[in-house]
Structure 1
């Protein structure tokens, strides 16, 4: 029981809070959302009220947290962000129109979206929110049409462009470039050993294997005074 509670209260990753990382991420995300709204309004020609399409789609906020707070995460790379959100939104619309029952459409759309994101190697948690949102919108009273894809597409384009520029300007290359692993001091382990352990654990860790390898090498060097 105590172990479960300790896991529940696990700290936020150091990279997201140390050395004012929280401020860098907060400013970047705020900037990206503002630019996304402006770009979407421009691309969709939105000038009248009520708005024909939303300037911002809610799952974009979750995508921004990943892109600017944990830009090294495999789930926060450009292809997962772009592909995950767009594929899932399209799935949500298609299933919503086909099924017509909001709760059923949402559940089916989420399952299909997760499967497709996994197969296309663009798994992105906010994509699940996109699938739910668009399935509910398409199956609900508003009957969202395919034009609604324009909002999420413009949002994601602005987020990716801002993420690339801002992260690289603030010392966090994006797309993420794994740390170069120096020659090992001794054959303590191999990359195959890392993959074997991960397979034995049967868990998906939110870290690239190359980054994990670099961390282990740095740890070994530190322990040996290197």
Structure 2
């Protein structure tokens, strides 16, 4: 959004504000899915328990943590933390730990913290990390006398009923949109991937190519661009080849080194010559994106040409893209 894009780059880096990679339609679909999902959870749970349970009013049988799960399964349906195993096991394991902690150390100030800490550790070992699970564990401790009276029935009602409802809604709703089928296994099976000849794979992946591919995917991915591109860069370093470089470095233009992750950088060549050395051979440049942003230096045109992979331009939304020849 424009207000976030207008923030200084250093502040955006500190706050870790990622580029917005989804269009308006995808955002509204996510919002609609969350609305429908929570409605399904509420209605199904009330249908199963019209008078509540354990003396609790009807509204108490809807876990607040389901709101957080709805964000994941509808806004990030292909994320690792959103998949069925994470949702099911994350909530149920955390609920078991929360109830156990409450039984072993009732009415202690640290019981809730212990429940959440143990739930996080268990989800790590069981490969079912699901952030809302922490809230489910905490609710078992601070939910009050009605929740405490349920004991381990808390795992069945309301946790299992809520989880089954949110997963059913996620599968059915996301199935309406081919690009966001849930779970992610269904999306992968339906993808049609054209075979690529080995000769075609010699094209080197760059930061600009990666951003363009993420934008085309139009799906929120719960891993930052920097972390994913850094992983790709480490793999790429083992098979790096000679790179093509611009034939000419023109003042006033922007150039990228074509690297990935933290190694990626964009420089703007100044129209003002360097103060040191022969002006015909030295150019001033400023780092405007990526590694070393804000730095100013000078180098010969040949050095800059060897550093640069291609010319780039800044597009709408703050994304750098390869400049197409005019």
1:162 aligns with 2:160: no
1:51 aligns with 2:51: no
Match for 1:173 among 181, 185, 194? 181
More strand by share: 2
Alpha-carbon offset, residue 83 of structure 1: 1.2
Normalising by structure 1, we get a TM-score of: 0.73
Paired residues in the alignment total: 199
Give the direction of change, closer, same or farther, for the CA distance of 1:160–1:145 in structure 2 (3 Å limit). same
Normalising by structure 2, we get a TM-score of: 0.53
| Alignment of structure 1 residues 1-150 onto 2, 5 Å | 3=10, 5-8=12-15, 10-11=17-18, 13-15=20-22, 18-46=23-51, 51=57, 54-137=60-143, 140-142=144-146, 143-146=148-151, 147-149=153-155, 150=157
Alpha-carbon offset, residue 182 of structure 1: 5.5
Which structure ranks higher in relative contact order (CA pairs < 8 Å, sequence separation ≥ 6)? 1
Whole-Å separation in 1 of the counterparts to 2:19 and 2:46: 35
Give the direction of change, closer, same or farther, for the CA distance of 1:157–1:12 in structure 2 (3 Å limit). farther
* Contact 1:36–1:155 (8 Å) recurs in 2: yes
Q: List gaps (5 residues or longer) in structure 2.
A: 1-7, 206-220, 233-257, 261-320
* Contact 1:53–1:148 (8 Å) recurs in 2: no
In the other structure, the counterpart of 1:185 is 201
Whole-Å separation in 1 of the counterparts to 2:41 and 2:50: 14
Whole-Å separation in 1 of the counterparts to 2:21 and 2:173: 20
Q: Describe the superposition over 1:163-205 as per-residue Cα deviations: whole angstroms up to 9, x where unpaired.
A: 001111122111114465964612869xxxxxxxxxxxxxxx9
Q: List gaps (5 residues or longer) in structure 1.
A: 190-204
Q: Describe the superposition over 1:52-85 as per-residue Cα deviations: whole angstroms up to 9, x where unpaired.
A: 6723110000000010011111001111111111
* Contact 1:103–1:136 (8 Å) recurs in 2: no
Whole-Å separation in 1 of the counterparts to 2:52 and 2:93: 28
Whole-Å separation in 2 of the counterparts to 1:46 and 1:165: 28
In the other structure, the counterpart of 1:201 is none
More helix by share: 1
Match for 1:206 among 210, 222, 227? 222
Alpha-carbon offset, residue 46 of structure 1: 2.9
Q: Helix, strand or coil for the counterpart of 2:183? A: coil
Q: Helix, strand or coil for the counterpart of 2:175? A: helix
In the other structure, the counterpart of 1:198 is none
Calculate the aligned-residue CA RMSD, in Å.
Answer: 3.6
In the other structure, the counterpart of 2:5 is none
